[in-house]
Amino acid sequence: MPKWLEQAAKNELEILEDGQCQLCGSDTFHGITECVSTAGKITHKISQEKGIQHQTIFLCVDAHALQHTLIHGRWNNHFHLARLHLILVDHIQWTYDLTTILNEVLDDHKKQHPNEKIAEPDQAHQAKLTVIDVDASHDDDEYVRLVWEWAQQVYASFAEHDAINHAIAQRLADSFKQKNLAITSQ
């Protein structure tokens, strides 16, 4: 059984196999299963080199994960919201190596805030774009533009419902920048 199905069961989410995605509302025929399948291939619409250069690899993963919080672990939401903050707000040029640092920061944060949760947006404040919209892009430029717009909408949606979410992301981002600076200064 895929891990996302295990997590959905843990969160008592009954998976609907037909129609729109029950979590993000994307226009699918086979619900969340199709949405997750599309997310698995969406980062490969452009080359890996371009994906890293334009940050689309990371933004797609973060945006999709945050639109589907009930199929991921609770701390996963912290990671993805913090990384969106670092890329969109702090303009960090993300690389795979930076992921290790953010994971270390999150591990420390969990010890200090064991009961903290990221509140997901209510339906009225959800991002309008989804992975299905991005997948329908016609060329590289449209793809990059849609990925950035999607990520920005998702990030903004987490402040609409609860400003505490962005405060948590800011705190994690600040800790990440301090730790990264300490590492690069050595």
Q: Is 9 helix (H, G, I), strand (E, B) or coil?
A: helix
CA angle, residues 11, 168, 22, in degrees to nearest 5: 30
Q: Which residue, among 72, 75, 68, has the nearest Cα to 3 in the 3D structure?
A: 72
pTM of the complete model beyond 0.85 = yes
The 10s digit of each residue's pLDDT in 129-141 is 999 999 999 999 9
pLDDT in tens, 106-130: 999 999 999 999 888 888 888 999 9
Is residue 56 within 8 A of residue 134, CB to CB? The reply is no
- Residue 53, φ and ψ in degrees, nearest 5: -60, -45
pLDDT digits (tens, 9 = 90+) for 11-47: 888 888 899 999 898 889 999 999 999 999 999 999 9
Residue 160 CB partners (closer than 8 Å, separation 6+): 121, 125
